[in-house]
Every structure is written in structure tokens, then in C-alpha cells.
A = this chain, B = another copy of it.
Amino acid sequence: MFEDFKNYLLDKANLTDDELAQIEAVSFVKKLRKRQVLLQEGQVWQYNAFVCKGLTRTFSIDAKGNERIVNFGPENYWTGDLESLMAGTPARFNIDALEDTLVLLIQHEDFKNLCNTIPAFNNLINTLIQSSLAVSQKRINDSISLSAEELYNSFMQKHAPVANRIPQHMIASYLGITPETITRIRRNASKKR
């Protein structure tokens, strides 16, 4: 369980055995069955969560009841509702599991302590958040620049390995288009071949 996280940490930062032990001491694992909910809209999210195994999705539900997927969380990705975590406000997102999933959780208070006492950990996290922000901005740029077809193709290219584990209609939801549109894009693509 902790092994996966440990490998991730060692890959990204130089941490001593003692520091790893400190991190392990405040980590705990949660098993999620497929479709099980990790965070429900309206709750306050209190953790930093690392996906060791499986796949999660973060989504909101709009006025008409449509699910909109904001993010997928495959192995070695972090998940959560940052706004709720930081401000202590009710989450506007839901998180659930698309597969049987193992999530490693650290209470926010413990997490902050780790950041304050382990500089290498702090740097790792900050670098991570910065690059998440950069990725996020690229995604915004795509979503305002590209057509449905370009969005889909670019997604499939960038996320090929994970994409195969995600049902089509959820990819549609992530891209802000309809499942039917994806079907048509695929049909056109196979015609061209």
C-alpha cells in the first residue's frame, strides 16, 4: 500500500528513511469499490489524497442534473477538492471510483506539518501544484481554442493509456461534448482511413 506512495516520493524527491517514516505515520489507506463515493458535494474535504491503484473521477452536477467531469485520477495522481480543503467550505465537486481503487489519505493538518518540517516534501508539493496549474492553463487554452474533434483527438493522444479505461460518455463529459458527437468523430475518422 504505502509502497506505491513511497516509490512515487523517492522518484520525485530525496527523502531520508526517517522522513519517509514520518510521512507513513500520518498516512492511511482507503479502499474504494467501483462506483464508491469518496467525496460528496456539500461535504468539507479534509485530506490530501494520492491514488495508489485504480482510477477516480472528480465531477460536478449542474442545474440540469448533468455530470461534468473536471478531472480523472489514475495511479500516481493526487485528487481532492482544493477549494474546499483550503477554505473549509462545502465541496462543489464529487469524487468517486471508476474502478476498484486504493487511495492514500493524509489529514490536512498532518499534511501541513509535513510540509513545514520536511523541506524536500514541501518543495515536491509546491512543484507539483505549480505544474498542475500550468497543465490546467493549457487545458483552458485548448478548451477555448479547439473544436470537438480536435479536443477529442488531443485527449486520446495525450492520455492514451488511461483513456482506454474510461467509458466514452465520461470522456465526453470531461471534454464538454456529447457521447453522440464522439461516436460521429470516430465514425468519420474510420471513413477517412
Which A positions have Cβ atoms within 8 angstroms of B?
60, 62, 66, 68, 70-71, 82-83, 86, 92, 126-127, 129-134, 136-141, 143-145, 173-176
Judging by beta carbons under 8 Å apart, are B60 and A130 in contact? no
User: For the complex, would chain A's binding face be called helix, strand, loop or mixed by DSSP majority?
Assistant: helix
Question: What are 14 sample pairs from A and B whose C-beta atoms fall under 8 A apart?
Answer: A82-B131, A82-B133, A82-B137, A83-B137, A83-B138, A86-B127, A86-B130, A126-B126, A136-B136, A136-B137, A139-B140, A143-B176, A144-B175, A144-B176
Given A126-B126, A129-B129, A140-B140, A83-B134 contact (CB < 8 Å): yes
Judging by beta carbons under 8 Å apart, are B145 and A176 in contact? yes
Copies of this protein chain in the complex? 2
Complex CA gap A86/B129 in Å reads: 12
Judging by beta carbons under 8 Å apart, are B137 and A70 in contact? yes
Given A70-B137, A137-B70, A82-B130 contact (CB < 8 Å): yes
A133: B residues at CB distance < 8 A: 82, 129, 132-133, 136
Complex CA gap A40/B126 in Å reads: 26
Candidate in A66, A68, A137 with the most chain B CB atoms within 10 angstroms: A137
Complex CA gap A83/B127 in Å reads: 11
Chain B proximity of A27: nearest CB distance (Å): 21
Complex CA gap A145/B176 in Å reads: 6
Q: What residue in chain B is nearest A86 (Cβ atoms)? A: B130
Chain B proximity of A93: nearest CB distance (Å): 8
Given A129-B126, A129-B129, A145-B62, A82-B134 contact (CB < 8 Å): yes
A83: B residues at CB distance < 8 A: 131, 134, 137-138
Complex CA gap A71/B68 in Å reads: 23
